[in-house]
Amino acid sequence: MKKLKVGVICYPTVGGSGVVATELGLKMAERGHEMHFITSSRPFRIPDGQPNIHFHEVKIDGYAVFKYPPYDIALANRIARVIEEEGLDLLHVHYAVPHAISAALAKDMANSDIGVITTLHGTDVTILGHDPALKNTVRYGIDKSDLTTAVSESLRQDTLSLIEPQKEILTIYNFIDEEKYRPVDPGPLKSELGIREDEKVIIHISNFRSVKRISDIIDSFKLLRKETDSKLLLVGTGPEKLEMMEKAREEGLEGDIIFTGKRDDLPELLAISDVMFLLSEKEAFGLVLLEGFACGVPAIATNIGGIPEVVEDGKNGFLVELGDVKAAAEKAKRLLEDPIMHQSFRERAIETVCNKFNSSSIVLRYEELYYRVAGLE
């Protein structure tokens, strides 16, 4: 079968969508396809000189006349050039708004009938879809695409009911790099972070946006801390970080909550962790759950969005209702105090990644769609 030339448009450096787009690009490149990332900066997981990977930077000057530099138009212009210069077979865009819109404009500019796959990751639908001004734009992006995928069944259903697109939407789950995320030896990390060997570790990893409800995590940890010797690791950074540091101080938990900042050693941090907390109010999938599972860390997570498709209640974690910090603390205590249950959840978590979210099967699924959209079935 002919190897494909694919244009990939994503937010390269932040969030799960960038990770999924990059990992998928790397896996497709390993399969011999030529992957062209058209982005504002080099995706951070892609080293220089990686075979079959090309990077086309979108540059935009800050002309004084524009209050907001028109990135989406600059992106469309760059996509149009890459379509022509590289002879791309298809575009894979992550996020309907703005990327699917830029792709539609690029096709028009290049006078090309290139196929477009759009992958929805969540916030474009679950947040923008409620804004009447943007709902039609999201629908336009989907309907202009040849094929749209959603990262969970929940997101697919939300898109159908909120956006009412004309085009069909397929669910393709996210995956992670199983070679990176696996049980590893953390060395002396636990003591380096000032955690005693006998203390349990709760971990939360995110971009500290308000949807992540870190305040609930701190409240729940406060309850848990009264009963179980434990520390809370808050990994990452973002808009709510300072406020959450202040809250930890006010609650008298300064010594028990460790704000690590952004870290590259996530498998090691997960290796010293006993439970992951993800108490978000919106989550189309929750990629971080898979990262934790692959390293053998069960989760306590909210019963919202795509999370119940990842967390099987009572098997690889526990589901709690949004805002129920007491239930989260109780379930965590149960799990932490029962080593047999913890071991069985740990094994089930690793199995979940191998079976339901296996990267090889998911990559093949995308590849099949790439051939379909490129008209080469």
> How many other C-beta atoms lie within 10 A of the C-beta of residue 299?
26
Q: Which is nearer to ligand GMT, 83 or 293 (CB)?
A: 293
Count of residues binding ligand GMT (CB under 6 A)?
19
Q: How many Å apart are CA 1 and CA 289, to the nearest integer?
A: 35
CB 303 within 8 A of CB 320: yes
Q: Which is nearer to ligand GMT, 272 or 284 (CB)?
A: 284
Helix axes 15-30, 359-373, angle to 10 degrees: 80
> Can you tell me which of 287, 304, 335, 374 binds ligand GMT, judged by CB under 6 A?
287
Q: How many Å apart are CA 309 and CA 282, to the nearest integer?
A: 14
> Can you tell me which of 20, 101, 172, 244 binds ligand GMT, judged by CB under 6 A?
20
Binding mask 92-131 for ligand GMT (x = CB under 6 A): -----------------------------xxx--x-----
> Can you tell me which of 9, 46, 88, 284 binds ligand GMT, judged by CB under 6 A?
284
Q: How many Å apart are CA 67 and CA 107, to the nearest integer?
A: 27
Tokens standing for 131? 């804004």
CB 175 within 8 A of CB 358: yes
Residue 36 CB, nearest approach to ligand GMT (Å)? 21
Q: Which residue has the tokens 């290049």?
A: 110
> Can you tell me which of 5, 33, 107, 282 binds ligand GMT, judged by CB under 6 A?
282
Q: Which is nearer to ligand GMT, 25 or 122 (CB)?
A: 122
Q: How many Å apart are CA 366 and CA 363, to the nearest integer?
A: 5
211 lines the binding site for ligand GMT (CB under 6 A): yes
> Can you tell me which of 96, 100, 110, 151 binds ligand GMT, judged by CB under 6 A?
151
Residue 215 CB, nearest approach to ligand GMT (Å)? 16
Q: Which is nearer to ligand GMT, 272 or 353 (CB)?
A: 353
Exposed e or buried b per residue across 252-269, where buried means at least 16 C-beta atoms within 10 angstroms of its C-beta: ebeebbbbeeeeeebbbb
> Can you tell me which of 4, 5, 7, 15 binds ligand GMT, judged by CB under 6 A?
15
- Segment near ligand GMT (CB under 6 A), from 177-185, 190-198, 204-212, 259-267? 204-212
286 lines the binding site for ligand GMT (CB under 6 A): yes
> Can you tell me which of 56, 209, 247, 356 binds ligand GMT, judged by CB under 6 A?
209
Q: Which residue has the tokens 């790439």?
A: 370
Does a cis peptide bond (omega within 30 degrees of 0) precede residue 98? yes
Question: Is the CA virtual torsion 28, 29, 32, 34 positive or negative?
Answer: positive
The residues binding ligand GMT (CB under 6 A) are 15-17, 20, 121-123, 126, 151, 174, 207, 209, 211, 282-287
